[in-house]
Every structure is written in structure tokens, then in C-alpha cells.
Amino acid sequence: MTSTTHTHSSTTLLPGDPGWEAAVSGFDLSVEHRPDVVALPRDADEVAEVVRAARADGLRVAVVGTGHGAPPGGPGTVLLRTEALDEVVVDPVGRVARIGGGARWRDVVEACAPHGLAALGGSSSGVGVVGYLLGGGFGPMVRTFGAAADRVLAVELVDANGTSVRLDATHGADWFAALRGGGLAHGVITAVEIELVAVRTVTAGGLWFDAADAGAVLAAWQAWTRDLPDTLTTSIARVNLPPDPALPEVLRGRALVHVRVVHVGDALDDEARRVADPEAAQALLAPLRAAACPLLDSVGVLPVTALDAVHQDPTGPMPVTEAGMLLDRLAPETAEALLRVAAPQRGLPLALVEVRLLGGALDAPRGDVPFDAVRGRRSAAGIHAIAAPVPGLPPEVGTAAVDAVLEALAPWSGGGALPSFAGRGTASSARIATAMGPDLLARLAAVQATADPDDVFAPARRWDPAGSVR
């Protein structure tokens, strides 16, 4: 799509146009987009026009929503931004939402809440719906309701020929199965339909401890997680916070341990929506509070619209250097290794090292598709490391820091990683390939060969028929 195709139309930007710099930027400031043109389609028909025009001009299509984890769109590409496709329509009787391909989870949360319904979004409502679902969807209620990808009922997309296609368990079933956790779309997703859960309120929040108590807290957390009910999802993180005046004074500029919890009560309201059971949740948390005295305790009853308060993920654009890995088991030695590598005196430039407990409802795949693309179902936990966004820090220093974390915990891992938490680069792709395994990779490669035989789309990685990710 050259300047002669949609020259300065309302949906096209060229280098130097007003709005160009904002259009080639996203949440992850470490990703540099250098496309030939940016397309801003307003509906599925315009998406189809963009894809057809790109093919005619010999350009590839790189798709970006919020820019969380988006691959760089380089020369020879059209950067297609989907944020205008943000409509959310809720069917409260059927408990289904139809969500535009550019919507963020906050759009969905706000549309569902008046009906006492919730979608299985992630720890930050600012993340895009589509990218999260493609990676499986491991959110703050994953142990109670399973992977968000399992709740996808249908996908509407524009394929490599510029044709609108609807996929579900009976139409294009292999492609549909690949979209539910396989990490890649091989098209431009313009809408998804997902099943909702009936939840109004939860007991949730965090316990903040000084890093000096990390050994006691992590040991208590690990022992505590052995017998947790599926109604509770939790993670623990070693966090280094900046001296930001927006933070509570007791946390500013400190090395900390943050235990995150979301408890979904069994009690129902008069519309059969689950509501918080604070007494049960607080009883479950007693062993953690006995391990050390929290600096700050924010656990309480929250509406599902306020789940961002649990993890408190950054909301503004920032450079992201991250890596992740699945853990097959948790042992006392696992905690000791994590404490050594993330200790403040080690001096690694880390913003966060988190262990997310898996299991519970995640273990059981939904059997309505030919194969299951969601990995991590039998894993004990996921590890996620993020380098501190220090101005002027060379990228290789941040990469070395997050790699050091994975290396320290490798003895308790089979070497696999989830697509959404793996990070970028060859090593990350190798970890995803390990988690997928040769049989699933072969099926994903077959979907890719059928869906995008001419390599029209420029994804973060591609499945190789030989059984690897590149």
C-alpha cells in the first residue's frame, strides 16, 4: 500500500503526517516500528481493504493493538492499528460478550459489570483483549475459572486474501483451536465472542512485606499453596519500587515482597452471581500474615471492576525487557534459588520477579476443539522477570538480568514458556517451542501454511514445520 493507494485518507498515515509518531508507538517503548505506512481502519470492511491493498503493493501487514508485546513493524510493512475496533456488546442472558478486535479489557469490564458478569481478563485492564487471548489468558482468577482462551466461542477475522472469516468449533475448527492459546492469529482479528462468568465481587488485594522478610514469607507462601482451594488464585513477587510520590509512602523506593490474592466466594446473590466471602478468604490468609508483619495490607472486598488494584501493573508506556518460564514443581530449594538471584545485594536491575501459582481449574481443557493449544496446564507455576526501566540502561544489561533469573530456576523447569510471558528473541522462541512440543507445533504449522501461505502477515514468530519456532 503505497501513497497512491490511500493517500492521506482518514485511515492512513505516512511518515511526516501529524499523528505519525504516536501511531508508531505503543506501550512497550523498546519496540521501534518503522513501517512504510500506518493504517487506522474503523471497521472490518476497512481492515479487509487495507489487507488487499497491502498485498497489491507487495507489503506485509503487522498488526498492533495496544503495543503490549507487539512485534516491530519494519520497512516493507503496513502497520495496521486496531484500536478503533473497540465495540463491546454484552448478552446478559446468554452470558456472552462480542468484543471488537482493538478493545482493551477495561472496555469489557465496564460493559459487563452492570449485569453482574465478568470476563477473564488479565492483571491489567489496559492490555488488549486479542493478544491476551491468543497467549492463553492466565489472569487473576485462573485457578477458579481456567484459561481465558477456553472461553472463546468464536473469532471473526480478515484473512490473508482480505476476506472476512468467522471461525468456531464447527467452522474452521483447526484454525479456531490454534487461536485459543497458540500465540498467533495469521490474520487480523476484528471481533471475538467469549463466555462470561457470573461474579460481582471478590476478596482480593495484596500483602506487602519488607525484603528482609523475604525468606520467611516465600517459605510460608510455598507451604500455603500446597492445599489451596481452586477458589483462590495467588502469586508472589520480589519487587523493587522507585521513590515515586504516587506510591504509598511506606513502599516508596523499597525492596519488597508482594503477595497477590484473589478469592472468589461460593456464595450467590439473588441473581445467582458469585459474591465475596471475606471471612473465608481472611481465614485462608492467616498463615501468610503469621509469617511476618506486612508493611501494607490491602486485602478486602473488591468489585470485579477493581481487579487492577491487585497486581498494580504499570499503566503508562515504558520500555519492557522481560522473560518467563514454566516451573514443573515448587520446592524449598526453588524458593532459596529465587531469593539468591533476586536479593537486593545481588544488584541485578530487576523491577519484578514473580511466581504465579497455576493448577486448579486450569488443569482441565475444554474439549470442544480438535486440539488444545493452551500450554502450562500441568505446570506448578510460571516465573516472570522484568528488568527495571532505568533510563540509559543498555538493553543487554536488562536481558542479562532476566536471563539470570531463569537460569537460577532452570532446575525446576522443563524449559518451556507461555507465549505471553516468554519475552522476545531466539531463546524465548525456543522456550515456547519446548512448551508446545512437536505434535502441537506440527498442527500449528499446518494451520499457518493454510491460513497465510504467502507470508502476508508479519507476526512476532512463526511455527516451523520441522517442529520449532522461528
Closest CA relative to residue 159, chosen from 179, 185, 180: 185
**pLDDT tens digits, 2-43:** 222 333 344 889 999 998 888 888 776 676 778 999 999 999
User: 189 is written with which cell numbers?
Assistant: 482479528
Q: What is the average per-residue pLDDT within 275-303?
A: 96
Q: What is the average per-residue pLDDT within 432-451?
A: 94
Q: What is the average per-residue pLDDT within 213-227?
A: 96
Say if residue 160 is in the same domain as residue 230. Answer: no
Say if residue 289 is in the same domain as residue 343. Answer: yes
**pLDDT tens digits, 60-116:** 999 998 765 666 678 899 999 999 999 999 999 999 999 999 999 999 999 999 999
Contact yes or no for 328/413 (Cβ under 8 A): yes
* pLDDT class of 197 with cuts at 50, 70, 90: very high
User: 284 is written with which cell numbers?
Assistant: 485462608
**pLDDT tens digits, 338-362:** 999 999 989 899 999 999 999 999 9
Cα separation of 394 and 256, whole Å? 25
**pLDDT tens digits, 390-413:** 877 788 899 999 999 999 999 999
What percent of the chain stands above pLDDT 90? 79
Query: In sequence order, what are the beta bridge partners of 167?
Result: 155
Say if residue 326 is in the same domain as residue 280. Answer: yes
Task: Report the number of distinct structural domains present in the chain.
Answer: 3
Contact yes or no for 281/203 (Cβ under 8 A): yes
Say if residue 97 is in the same domain as residue 75. Answer: no
pLDDT at 67: 65
Q: Which amino acid is at 356?
A: R
Contact yes or no for 223/146 (Cβ under 8 A): no
In terms of DSSP bridges, do strands 188-195 and 152-158 run parallel, antiparallel, or are they unpaired?
A: antiparallel
pLDDT at 6: 33
Q: What is the average per-residue pLDDT within 422-426?
A: 83
pLDDT at 376: 94
Say if residue 305 is in the same domain as residue 211. Answer: yes
- Domain of 283, CATH number, reads 3.40.462.20
Contact yes or no for 56/99 (Cβ under 8 A): no
pLDDT at 3: 29
Say if residue 31 is in the same domain as residue 116. Answer: no
pLDDT at 110: 96
Say if residue 214 is in the same domain as residue 162. Answer: no
User: 180 is written with which cell numbers?
Assistant: 485459543
pLDDT surpassing 90 at residue 240? yes
Say if residue 277 is in the same domain as residue 218. Answer: yes
What percent of the chain stands above pLDDT 70? 94
- Domain of 156, CATH number, reads 3.30.465.10
Is 469 within the bounds of a domain? no
pLDDT at 11: 81
Cα separation of 324 and 418, whole Å? 7
Contacts (Cβ under 8 Å, ≥6 apart) of 236 = 217, 218, 221, 257, 258, 259, 260, 354, 355
Q: Considering 181, 198, 215, which residue would you say is the last residue of a domain?
A: 198
What residue numbers bound the domain in which 38 lies?
Answer: 12-81
pLDDT surpassing 60 at residue 415? yes
Say if residue 268 is in the same domain as residue 353. Answer: yes
Which residue has 525468606 as its cell numbers?
215
pLDDT at 2: 29
b/e code 53-90 from CB counts within 10 Å (16+ = b): bbbebebbbbbbbbbbbbbbbeeebbbbbbbbbbebeb
Provide the H-helix boundaries in 1-113. Answer: 20-23, 44-56, 105-112
Cα separation of 37 and 379, whole Å? 42
Contact yes or no for 151/117 (Cβ under 8 A): no
Average pLDDT, the chain: 91
Say if residue 243 is in the same domain as residue 165. Answer: no
Is 159 within the bounds of a domain? yes
